[in-house]
């Protein structure tokens, strides 16, 4: 697999172009090929241990989006964006989850299952002990944010507008989407599509501190 790096100017141009889109054009949908690429970008996101302790709930049904809307401060992105994704984190980790991942390693890499015994022991020691139970939801939530960041950058590079959203009531989203039965809980959302010409924020200068104020080199 050859990796053809993009030009640094192209990267920074895309990141300067993106913003948290407030008004989407409800008449413009993502082309199938573009959405397929973004789905794969989500699946390729980095996660601790590689365990991917989350699910990405893509809400296409207009009636379901309408139910979610009042529990998201009536933000129109929920119903007007081409795609609306709820990032749902696992609320607990189990031996079955770890073994499922190890089986996938064997399938993809063709290694002997016994060769992964030490790796399994390390993951189990970190994620399955009684002392881990309270911190697992926080850990899985952080993995969701890694995936969200990857999605935002990928969308910008493809010329797709996005709006990450924390302004919603997770417990209500959980009920509407049936997430507890899946062992998951809503953490953050992202609307994807194309900006409306009426979105006044599209032309607003991006407000960021200069990199020199944020980055320390020792």
Q: Is residue 57 part of a domain?
A: yes
Is the pLDDT at 195 greater than 90? The verdict is yes
The pLDDT-based confidence of 21 (bands split at 50, 70, 90) is very high
Domain range for 56: 23-92+133-202
Q: What is the mean pLDDT of residues 83-96?
A: 97
Q: Is residue 34 part of a domain?
A: yes
Q: What is the mean pLDDT of residues 168-175?
A: 98
Q: How far is CA 125 from CA 93, 102, 129, 131, in A?
A: 12, 15, 6, 10
| Per-residue pLDDT at 152 | 98
Q: What is the mean pLDDT of residues 22-34?
A: 98
Q: Is residue 83 part of a domain?
A: yes
| Per-residue pLDDT at 115 | 98
pLDDT in tens, 114-161: 999 999 999 999 999 899 999 999 999 999 999 999 999 999 999 999
By the 8 A CB rule, do 157 and 6 touch?
yes
Q: Is residue 55 part of a domain?
A: yes
Is the pLDDT at 27 greater than 70? The verdict is yes
CATH code: domain of residue 167: 3.40.109.10
Q: What is the mean pLDDT of residues 168-196?
A: 98
Mean pLDDT of the chain: 97
Say how many C-beta atoms besides its own lie within 10 A of residue 51's C-beta: 19
| Per-residue pLDDT at 2 | 76
**CB proximity list for 96: less than 8 A, separation 6 or greater:** none
Q: Is residue 215 part of a domain?
A: no
The pLDDT-based confidence of 3 (bands split at 50, 70, 90) is confident
The pLDDT-based confidence of 1 (bands split at 50, 70, 90) is low
Q: How many domains does the chain have?
A: 1
Q: Is residue 99 part of a domain?
A: no
Q: Which of residues 188 and 3 earns the better pLDDT score?
A: 188
pLDDT in tens, 50-80: 999 999 999 999 999 999 999 999 999 999 9
| Per-residue pLDDT at 173 | 99
Q: Is residue 9 part of a domain?
A: no
Q: What is the mean pLDDT of residues 11-19?
A: 97
């Amino acid at each position: 697999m050859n990796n053809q790096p993009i030009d640094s100017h192209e990267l920074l141009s895309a990141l300067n172009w993106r913003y948290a889109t407030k008004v989407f054009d409800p008449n413009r949908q993502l082309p199938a090929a573009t959405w397929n690429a973004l789905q794969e970008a989500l699946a390729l996101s980095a996660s601790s241990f590689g365990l991917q302790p989350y699910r990405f709930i893509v809400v296409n049904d207009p009636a379901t989006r309408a139910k979610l809307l009042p529990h998201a401060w009536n933000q129109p992105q929920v119903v007007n964006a081409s795609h609306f994704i709820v990032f749902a984190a696992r609320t607990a980790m189990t031996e079955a989850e770890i073994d499922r991942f190890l089986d996938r390693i064997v399938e993809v890499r063709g290694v002997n299952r016994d060769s992964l015994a030490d790796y399994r022991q390390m993951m189990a020691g970190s994620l399955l002990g009684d002392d881990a139970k309270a911190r697992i939801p926080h850990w899985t939530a952080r993995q969701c944010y890694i995936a969200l960041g990857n999605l935002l950058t990928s969308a910008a590079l493809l010329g797709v507008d996005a709006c990450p959203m924390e302004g919603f009531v997770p417990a209500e989203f959980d009920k509407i989407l049936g997430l507890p039965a899946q062992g998951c809980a809503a953490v953050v959302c992202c609307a994807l599509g194309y900006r409306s010409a009426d979105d006044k924020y599209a032309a607003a200068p991006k407000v960021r501190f200069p990199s020199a104020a944020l980055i320390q080199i020792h």
